Amino acid sequence: MTSLRSLTLYFGGWGSSSVLDGCTFKLDTFRCDLSYDESLRNFLDGQPSLMRLEFLEYNTGQSFEGRLPSLTRVTALFAMLPHLILGRPVSEVTSIGPPSERDADLSFFTLSTAPIEKLTMELSCLYPKPARLLASIFPSLTHLTVHKYVSWTLTPTVRCPPFN
């Protein structure tokens, strides 16, 4: 499968990332709900051209430092976003679920090496922050989708160009 460019692995929490051991294909897109263990770390180390990651597992105790240098699009739980955005050219972010605390700090978005242009986020991440603060964190935003958190699904409720 040396030509494989997109891979989706959803096992409902029962899968093992060891299925990736020895894989040599180079992906552009990877979606999974696997735990971030040694097998997954080794696999991601071999994916320098990965641009899109959908990661539905909560693993903030692990470091992504030095991995995923080409990442531009991220879908992950809110708590994972700082670990995935830091120092990478991420310009499109989809946050799944609400933040762990009501007044979540969004300043980590400014640590992307590219401006955030597209953002999908749960309403409680943004409200009641003042528009001035949001505009300073997301000065290049062109698409904003705000949704209510409902289990593991996204229910879009508002789509608008931000801060008009």
Q: Where exactly are the structural domains of the chain?
A: 1-71
Residues 106/125, Cβ–Cβ less than 8 Å: yes
> Looking at residue 152, what is its pLDDT?
47
Looking at residue 62, its pLDDT comes to 67
Residue 76 pairs with which residues in a beta bridge? 55, 95
Instruction: Average pLDDT across each block of 10 residues of the chain; the chain has 164 residues. List them in order.
Output: 90 82 94 88 93 84 83 93 93 87 81 96 80 89 83 48 46
Residue 128: asked if its preceding bond is cis (omega within 30°), the reply is: yes
- pTM for the model stands at 0.84
- pLDDT score for 155: 46
